[in-house]
Structure 1
Amino acid sequence: MSSNRSMPESSSREGLGHSTPPRSAIPNYVELVRFLIQPFLESPESLKVDCELSASRPKIWIRLAFDSLDKGRVFGRGGRNIQAIRTVLEAAAQSSGQAIYLDVFGGDPVGNRDEAAEPESSSKSQPPRSAPPKSAPKLRTQ
C-alpha cells in the first residue's frame, strides 16, 4: 500500500530490543490522563495527577485523585471506563518501550468491585440460601 506522504526511515532498525527512548519520545502522561478523565468529571478542577518516571527501569507510575462524587462516572459500570483508560495508557507506554501503573486514590480497584456498589433497593438482591433449591415436581405420564 502506498501513500502520498513520505515516511522517514528509522535509523535504529537493527536493534528491536527494548531501549530507553529519547526524552522527547516519551508521551506527556499527565496531559493524556487529563484528556481521558476530565470528560467524566462534574468538577474537572478536582482532578489531581502525579506522574513518576523510574530512572533505573522503564516504568511509569501515575497516581490520580478526584472528587468522590465522580467515582461512579470515572469507573463506569463494571469498571469499563477505567479499564478503557488503562488500555489507552498501556498502549501509549508500550509504544515508548515502557510499562505503566495507574493508581486511583479514593476508588475501588477494578478487580475488586462487586455488586455491593449497586443500590440496596435492587430487585436482584436476594438473601443467601441456607438449603439447596427444591427439585421440580415430576409430571405424570399416561
Structure 2
Amino acid sequence: MKNLVEVLVKSLVENPDAVVVNEVTAEQSITLELRVAADDMGKVIGKQGRIAKAIRTVIKAAAAKENKRVILEIIQ
C-alpha cells in the first residue's frame, strides 16, 4: 500500500523528493500518513477533494484484495 501511494503521489507533484508516506499498522487496518511539500498540497487534494478521493478509492480497492482496511491521512 505504501509503495502504491508513493507512486501515485510522486507522479502528481512537482517536488517528488518531499513526498513521505508513513505506515501505521493495526490488526485489520493500515493508516497511511502522507506528507507533501506545501506548494504541492493543492495538487494532491484537487478541486473539491476529487484527486484525494480518487487516490483513496484506488488504495481501498487494492486493500480489499488483502482483506485490510486502509485510511489515508494527508498531513501538512
**TM-score over 0.5 for the alignment?**
yes
* Paired amino acid for 2:10: Q
In structure 2, the partner of 1:89 is 59
Structure-to-structure mapping, 1:1-142, within 5 angstroms = 29-54=1-26, 57-106=27-76
Aligned residues: 76
Give the whole-Å Cα distance in 2 for the aligned partners of 1:60 and 1:78.
25
Please provide the CA RMSD for this pair: 0.8
Normalising by structure 2, what TM-score?
A: 0.94
Moved over 4 A (4+): none
Q: CA deviation at 1:88?
A: 0.4
Unaligned runs of 5+ in 1: 1-28, 107-142
Larger RCO (CA under 8 A, 6+ residues apart): 2
SS at match of 1:42: coil
Q: Sequence identity of aligned pairs in percent? A: 30
In structure 2, the partner of 1:137 is none
* Paired amino acid for 1:35: V
Normalising by structure 1, what TM-score?
A: 0.52
* Paired amino acid for 1:36: L
Give the whole-Å Cα distance in 1 for the aligned partners of 2:31 and 2:48.
23
